[in-house]
Amino acid sequence: MTAPSSSSSRQRLYVGTIATYCPETAQITKPLPIYSDQVITIGRGPACDYVVNDTHVSRKHLQIYTVLYDRENPDDVAPLVYARDLSLNITTWNGYTMGSRRGSFLLSDGDILEIGGDKYIRFNSETHGGLTNAVKAREVSLLSREFMLTGRKIGLGGYGTVYMAYRRVDGKQLACKVLDTRLLKEKVIITVKQDFGMFHEHAARGEEEPPNAAMKGVYRDYIRMRLKEKLGIVQQEAMILKDLYHPNIVSLEKVVYSQDTFYIFQELLTGGDLFSYVHFKGGKLDNMEAAAIVRQITKALLYLHDRGIVHRDVKPDNILLATLEAGCRVVLSDFGCATRVTSTGRMATMVGTIPYRAPELLERRYTKAIDMWSLGCLTAVILTGEPTPDPEVMSWSDVLGGDGGTLKILSIFYAHSLRPRAQDFIFKTMAWKAEDRMTARQALAHEWFTNPAHHQSFLDLYTRAIKDWVPRNTGEDSVVRISAYAETESEILATQDDEESSDEWPSEESLEEEDQIAEGVCHEEASLTLSDLGLPRLFRGLSGTDPEELDEVAVESE
């Protein structure tokens, strides 16, 4: 379908068309172009943007909205158009039940939405997608016994592409990152050549390998070591995530691996990340909305710390929102730097993101208290909109550890009118000495969340936020070979090469022996981790939207 001519506008990007559809004749009528700055309401009410006159259709039945991955380069990843069910009546997506409790559904070209039992809406877009060469047709066919991997590209990572997938049994939409280890190896080789080029003229001349036999062995060993480090991130994260079941921690559905490809399935979160959400809200959040979000992150950290797991990279970019509604479920993601605490309780690997690093990280002797420091930094950032209190320094610890650091931070808090309870929470999570810092359990009991005026409101809000969360089936293996899906003799024979040539997945015991993350590896390049799927930054042009279209946080202001 041809896009309207006005799509060239930077403020209004054409993203697709909805139309009434007749399944018997395949006839399409009443087409309506959709633009990225719109929230389209479908229903029988006269105020709806797309009116369907039928008594079985609710007054407001569906809502259509758009998330852009890259506004400047929309061809890299097509605009993500979502349908949200607002009705208690029957609504389906390609024959699968939607329902308001299942969240928003990502739409692809040709999708059919059935509303009211016998009315159909078809969505069309110019970008049809298509799986890349990295996805093997045979493996996708085997996976289809459980998951349907579509060609709908929803993100780009350092070593793979993220596609929309769904479970065949119930249509639950998922994000699937397809990680090509051949591409990973090629990038490792390029990096190693650059490293060797600093010391050896032959590498600088572009020679494939060092001519000296001894140096050639060192070169190849270094490549193997670097590749093992990269794959170790994927493997360690999978072993950590597979045992986690919490509404505020990203849910890993399954990891399927073959000789040269990982297929990583996890829950699809449609609200974007916290960093983008803060920008969407004008650069910072108000006191109560920030408290509601921070409380959920704190609950996630308490769950991790009670199980001897440290995240080590808590920051707004790694917090995902289940929807765009105020007070929605908030999820901690990207466990690429996470590790299990050893018997001593101390770690030494230099990881994380500089502005959020705790001061003791530089001493290479730290505990799970580093997560609480990062939480304090995150809280300050979303309340003030300031990456650091001083543009001349790189981190909050640099400011707090310098002359007059506390006064500088207090002046920032005063300039942004932070409430006393929020300030106290931040300073207690950012106590300079780790042993003086609040634990996750103490933070959850802080008066910012538990004061008599707001405590019950927070409890009720959290109950509403997680009411639709469903933990995955714990009775199935979360990490399997592609051969597990082979049934016929020909399929079994075809997967035998993978069994013989691919490395064994390491045991849980071997991964727990020591920290698998090398110095800085988890974020030295574009992330390849399971939970950091390269999902879109939130960008919606809602300046003309009625504020009542979005729910408000049902708590009174402090």
| Residues with catalytic function | 313
Residues β-bridged to residue 20:
29, 121
Question: How many other CB atoms sit within 10 Å of the CB of residue 185?
Answer: 18
Classify residue 314 by burial, with Cβ atoms within 10 Å: 0-12, 13-18, 19+. Answer: buried
**How far is residue 316 from each of residues 293, 297, 481, 515, measured CA to CA in Å?**
11, 10, 34, 24
Residues 64 and 86: their CA atoms lie apart, in Å, by: 10
- The secondary structure of 24-52 as a DSSP string is TTTEEEEEEEEETT--EEEESSTTSSEE-
Q: Is 242 annotated as a binding residue?
A: no
Number of H helices, E strands in the chain: 15, 21
For the record, the structure tokens of 244 come out as 């986690």
Q: Are 452 and 216 in contact (CB under 8 A)?
A: no
Tokens of 264: 């990583």
Residue with tokens 């988890």: 522
CB proximity list for 224: less than 8 A, separation 6 or greater: none
Residues 6 or more apart whose Cβ sits within 8 Å of residue 263: 139, 143, 149, 176, 177, 178, 179, 255, 256, 257, 482
Give yes or no for a contact between 335 and 241, defined as CB atoms under 8 angstroms apart: yes
Q: 110 near 19, Cβ under 8 Å?
A: no
Among 44, 46, 38, 48, residue whose Cα is nearest residue 17: 38
Nearest to 93 by CA among 68, 120, 66: 120
User: Binding site residues for ATP, as ranges?
Assistant: 177
User: Binding site residues, as ranges?
Assistant: 177
